[in-house]
Every structure is written in C-alpha cells, then in structure tokens.
Amino acid sequence: MPEKNLVSWNAVISGLTQHGFHENGLHYFSEMRNSGLIPDQFTLGSALKGCSGIGALKLGQQIHGNTVKLGFQSNLFVGSSLSHMYMKCGVLDEGERVFRAMPIHNVVSCNTVIAVEAQNGQSDRALDYSKKMNASGLMLDRVTFVSVIISCAELATLGQGQQAHCHQAIKAGVDLALSLRSSLVGMYSKCGCLA
C-alpha cells in the first residue's frame, strides 16, 4: 500500500497477533511507530497481546509507558491487555496492580486474572478474585468455572469445588463443555471422590 493509516496498521498488527504471529505483529508495531503514527487503544492492546505471546516483558514495559503517556491506562481494553501481559510474563504482582487500578472490569478482564493466577499455582488468589467477580454482579462463564474448578482441585477443597459445580455451573446454566467436564473429573479425583 502506498499510504498506510492507523486503521490499516491496526488491521495487520491485530491480525498477526490474533493468529500467533507475535514477533511479526510487534515488528509492524515498531514500523508503525517509526512512521510517526500515534497508536490508539487497538494498537496498544494488540501490541501487548504480542508481548504476552512471546514473553517480551521489556517491550511490554515500554508500551506500558506509552499507554500512560497517551492517557490509555484507564481504558478497559488496554488495561486488560496490560494486566494480561504482566501476568503471562510472570510478574503477577504488577499485573494485579494494573488490574486493581482499572476503573471498571468486565468478564474478560476478570477471567484473565483468575486464569493466570490458577495457572501459576496461586489458587487461593484465583478463588478470591472469582468471589469478588461474583459479588460485583458480573456473570461467571465457562472460562471462569474452569479456572475455579482447577483451583479447587489444586487446593483439594472438595466443598468449594462441589459448590462451584452445583451452585455456579449448574444453576448458572453454563454449558458443561469438555473443558469444564475434564476439570470436574480432575477436581473430584484429586479430592478423593473417584466415584
């Protein structure tokens, strides 16, 4: 293309990072910045997704600086991407700090924190965030339940696992997809309820 605008750059960067070509997406992000264009919330979110994908913490921190400088730190999409980037790079405390500083949350931003906490062996914290999510009125979905069930299995807390299974998954009408069923089998087995 002889002329590229922010929309065309965003399409390329987003498309590449969404399909796992994180380094390529970040390369185009760098080219876009070198061309003099100022990123918007979509550019920043996609670039942070690329950083998460390859564990590029230093670049992610630089993008965090740009986020603050451009005034996007309160944006739900950018904040969620930023929190996810830190947590995927193993800097859980900074990811949580960014998450807590966000003025509003949605199911996706909460699920990100809960899932990463569960994946990093922070099962207590994952369960705490799921309780806060539920208390805030956000509807827990299949992704939330899988993380909750995995956390209950890690902690061998049968009561909480049964409560999540019964009260949340069944009453909330969440489709018992294969991922959720597998998590339930693992949780009940680890808690000694083989039948």
Write out the residue range of the structural domain in which residue 43 sits. 1-104
Instruction: Based on the fold, state whether residues 67 and 115 are members of the same structural domain.
Output: no
Tokens 């509807």 label which residue? 139
Do 53 and 132 belong to one domain? no
Coil, helix or strand at residue 47: helix
Residue 95 and residue 3 share a domain: yes
Task: Point out the domain boundary residue: 78, 104, 130.
Answer: 104
**pLDDT of residue 131 exceeding 80:** yes
Q: How many domains does the chain have?
A: 2
How many residues belong to the chain?
Answer: 195
pLDDT per position as a tens digit, 22-70: 999 999 999 999 999 999 999 999 999 999 999 999 999 999 999 999 9
Whole-model pTM? 0.81
Q: Please indicate, yes or no, whether residues 50 and 15 belong to a single structural domain of this protein.
A: yes
Is there a single domain that holds both residue 140 and residue 78?
A: no
Q: Residues 165-177: what's their mean pLDDT?
A: 66
What is the distance between the alpha carbons of residues 17 and 7, in angstroms, rounded to a whole number?
Answer: 15
Is residue 92 domain-shared with residue 117, that is, in the same domain? Answer: no
pLDDT at res. 161: 83
